[in-house]
Amino acid sequence: MKLSQASGKAYRHDKAAKSGQDRFAIYAAVIVFLILGIATYFIYQNRMAHRNAANLTYIELKQSIVNDQGAVARLAVTVQVNIGDEDWLKKNEATMNVLFRKELTVVDIDTLRNKEGIVEFQEELKRKINFQHKTDKVQSVMFTELLLQDQHENKLYK
């Protein structure tokens, strides 16, 4: 009988020791995952801070629709400047919108049906914005929307 009592106590002691080891393993795993989570967060935040490596800022001008002798164009452009020029960009947004609409009235819509015409219009718009504001802050003018439709034939070009 003494042997069975002794082995019972040893069994309970082994079970308690094993239970303590299991808790230690769980706590260690939680701490490791917590450290990995924190490290992942800081790495992600660090990469997001350098996401705009080109140091550029954008503003989208108001969408405009032009009807030119049966051809209709709907255009929206984005103006790109360097990061330090955000205030200048916001301050001059209204005048850039006016200039954009003015340029749309003189452009031949058919020239926007090919890549060369689009690039030429973008460069011309960039040059005129910079010239009007007596600066070289505008780095690029990009089309964010270009939809051309010929009203006579009901053809849709995109």
pLDDT at position 39, please? 93
Q: Would you state the structure tokens that stand for residue 138, as one six-digit string? A: 């505008």
Q: What's the number of CA atoms in the CB half-sphere (13 Å) around residue 78?
A: 10
Residue 112 near residue 146 (C-beta atoms within 8 A): yes
DSSP code at position 150: E
pLDDT in tens, 65-93: 888 777 888 888 889 888 888 888 889 98
pLDDT in tens, 100-151: 888 888 888 888 888 999 999 999 999 999 999 999 999 899 988 888 888 7
